[in-house]
Structure 1
Amino acid sequence: MRMIVAVALVVTASGALADETGDAHRLALQRRDSYWNCLAREYSREGAQGMSAADFTADIASVCPSERQNFRVTLIGYLLLQYPDADSNSHLSTANRAIELAQKDIITAFIRHKAAK
């Protein structure tokens, strides 16, 4: 009987952890989308198309600070649940790299759009 109770507790705990991880993943994706949407608004705003590539790059690096930080924090939270034994600095590096790639993608789109004109 004790073995059944122990197994039931393990199964319940692992299910709860899976739910928590899934919730953290969904939240990280929502925050990623929020950050991307903010970057897209900056790309689309009136006056942005008249900027030089260097000015647009500097602008993108400074816009959407709360969305960027929310994405970073929720992504790190998800990574901590998904990979609890990994070094926390690697999670921070991964989150920062995801932010860099988002910025790079919007800057690349901007430059290509300007070149096509």
Structure 2
Amino acid sequence: MRIVAMAAALAMTASGALADELDDAHKLAVQGRDSYWNCLAQEYSPDNLMHMSEQDFTRDVASACTSERQNFRVTLVDYLSMQFPDTGAAAHMTTANKAIELAQKDIVTAFVRHKAPK
């Protein structure tokens, strides 16, 4: 009986620690996302918009914020790997890359709307 109680206590401690690690990973992924978004927002400033074509701006956004983008990718993949451990690493990378692509697309969409004749 004592062994069962010890095993149950150990399992609860381990699951609590795992929950804390998952929460920390989630916070890091959100911080990475916010850092990347803030960096992209700096690219979308009036000084950068004056004479750029949509293609030039799209290319600029795709190459901007490399360290923030990589940090977001890594922290998101880490979080997804913990949240869904049975899913393959390639699927997590695909999800992270899609999130980055959508962030870039949103900034370009805002650029196009801003440049559209009123």
Report the Cα distance in structure 2 between the residues aligned to 1:116 and 1:41, rounded to whole angstroms: 23
1:79 maps to what in 2? Answer: 80
Give the RMSD, CA atoms, in angstroms: 1.0
Report the Cα distance in structure 1 between the residues aligned to 2:4 and 2:54, rounded to whole angstroms: 65
1:55 maps to what in 2? Answer: 56
The answer as to 2:102 corresponding to 1:104 is no
1:17 maps to what in 2? Answer: 18
Q: Deviations over 1:27-51 (max 9, x none)?
A: 0000000000000001015133321
Report the Cα distance in structure 2 between the residues aligned to 1:47 and 1:60, rounded to whole angstroms: 11
1:44 maps to what in 2? Answer: 45
Identical columns (%) = 64
Unaligned stretches of 5+ residues in structure 1: none
1:101 partner letter: L
Report the Cα distance in structure 1 between the residues aligned to 2:81 and 2:48, rounded to whole angstroms: 40
Structure 1 residue 110: Cα displacement: 0.4
Unaligned stretches of 5+ residues in structure 2: none
Give me the TM-score of the superposition, normalised by structure 2: 0.95
1:8 partner letter: A
User: Contact 2:49–2:111 at 8 Å: present in 1 too?
Assistant: no
Equivalenced residue count is: 117
Give me the TM-score of the superposition, normalised by structure 1: 0.96
1:4 maps to what in 2? Answer: 5
